[in-house]
Amino acid sequence: MPKHLIVIVGPTAIGKTALSIQLAEILQTEIISADSRQFYQDLVIGTAQPTQAEMRGIPHHFLSFLPIQANYTAGRFEQDALQTLNKIFTYQDVVIATGGSGLYLKALCEGLAELPTLSPNLRVTLNATLAQKGLPYLTQLLAEKDPAYYNSVDLQNPRRVLRALEVCLGTGLPYSTLRQQKPKETRPFNIITIGLIQEKELLHKRISLRVEMMMAQGLLKEVEKLYAYKRTNALQTLGYKELFDYIDGQYSLSEAVNYIKINTKKYAKKQITWFRKDKNITWFTPYDLPKIQSYIRAIIG
């Protein structure tokens, strides 16, 4: 029997988690999370990790399995997720993967191109520049060296900006170009990619509502507990960065919450731009479960 991986993508707050659980119930299968922030144990409210009740007994993989200090790459996820998939495929013909982290989904579905080995001195120099001149200086440099990646990356994430500049400066080639190189491996399973999309105004309302719900659920307390780790890679994350700034006295609480909403809407736009480039995605609204189900059944039989 052929094996199928159903991949559900889309911007933050669109309803990917709810749809994946509904489909997993219908297909009686398991879910692989490809949300790079839901990997961390202490980022529960701010990354909208599903609760036990919301999971409805569906086995979930790669949720809340890393300590906050861990550094975990897309390449490592590719290896771990493929191993997990191979195990699940021994007793299931269909598995669901979902998330909004485009790079991690690309790693799972296509593999990542191997990047050249670079001098460690370059990273040291870039880190020193970050400390002396700040992140805006480096993002402007990235805009000059690789405008395509500048327009798609989370510019508030220093690690990703530094990595892109490291490759641009170390190879003389745009990071975006090297990342588009196709790896040699093909996957031994069929991939069905479903994208969720809706009108911008409705999505923005969903984002604002989600932020307000997170605050009501205790996001500020979650952030306060993590303050000592605020410089770790895991916490360069929407919702956490803005509330760290509130704790540091840069904003009032209402201003910080407003910035979370604004920055999340910007991030959603970048996610949509990323996924729109993939011509293998078939798009639906979050409320199209019957159509999505019919579409999947027509392929897997």
Q: Note the pLDDT tens digit of each residue in 257-290.
A: 999 999 999 999 999 998 998 999 999 999 999 9
Of 131, 159, 179, the one marking the end of a domain is: 179
Mean pLDDT of 1-16: 96
Retrieve residue 83's tokens: 């191993």
Say what the pLDDT of residue 71 is. Answer: 83
- Tell me the backbone φ, ψ of residue 193, rounded to 5 degrees: -105, 125
- Mark whether 188 and 171 lie in a shared domain: no
Residues of the chain with pLDDT > 90: what percent? 77
Q: Of 170-174, 207-211, 254-258, 270-274, where does mean pLDDT reach its minimum?
A: 170-174
Mean pLDDT of 203-207: 98
Residue 66: Cβ-neighbour burial (10 angstroms; 0-12, 13-18, 19+): middle
Mean pLDDT computed over every residue of the chain:
93
C-alpha distances (whole Å) from 229 to each of 130, 232, 252 are 19, 6, 21
Q: CATH number for the domain including 172?
A: 1.10.20.140
- Mark whether 198 and 175 lie in a shared domain: no
Say what the pLDDT of residue 282 is. Answer: 98
- Mark whether 236 and 284 lie in a shared domain: yes
194 and 293 in contact (C-beta within 8 Å)?
no
Mean pLDDT of 175-182: 79
Domain range for 224: 4-112+183-300
204 and 265 in contact (C-beta within 8 Å)?
yes
Q: Work out how many domains the chain is built from and give that number.
A: 2
Say what the pLDDT of residue 177 is. Answer: 85
- Rounded CA-CA distance 109/197 in Å is 21
CA-CA-CA-CA torsion for 24, 28, 32, 33, nearest 10 degrees?
30
Say what the pLDDT of residue 119 is. Answer: 79
Of 179, 199, 227, the one marking the end of a domain is: 179
Does 115 score more than 80 pLDDT?
A: no
- Mark whether 82 and 212 lie in a shared domain: yes
Confidence band of 123 (pLDDT split at 50, 70, 90): confident
- Beta-ladder partners of 5: 95, 191
**Which residues lie below 8 Å from residue 198, measured CB to CB, with a gap of 6+?**
14, 285, 286
75 and 141 in contact (C-beta within 8 Å)?
no
Does 182 score more than 70 pLDDT?
A: no
Q: CATH number for the domain including 215?
A: 3.40.50.300
C-alpha distances (whole Å) from 4 to each of 12, 20, 285 are 24, 14, 22
- Mark whether 129 and 160 lie in a shared domain: yes
Say what the pLDDT of residue 122 is. Answer: 87
- Rounded CA-CA distance 286/185 in Å is 32
- Mark whether 204 and 77 lie in a shared domain: yes
Confidence band of 43 (pLDDT split at 50, 70, 90): very high
- Tell me the backbone φ, ψ of residue 5, rounded to 5 degrees: -110, 115
C-alpha distances (whole Å) from 35 to each of 55, 101, 166, 265, 301 are 16, 5, 25, 17, 29
- Nearest CA to 107 out of 144, 86, 81 is that of 81
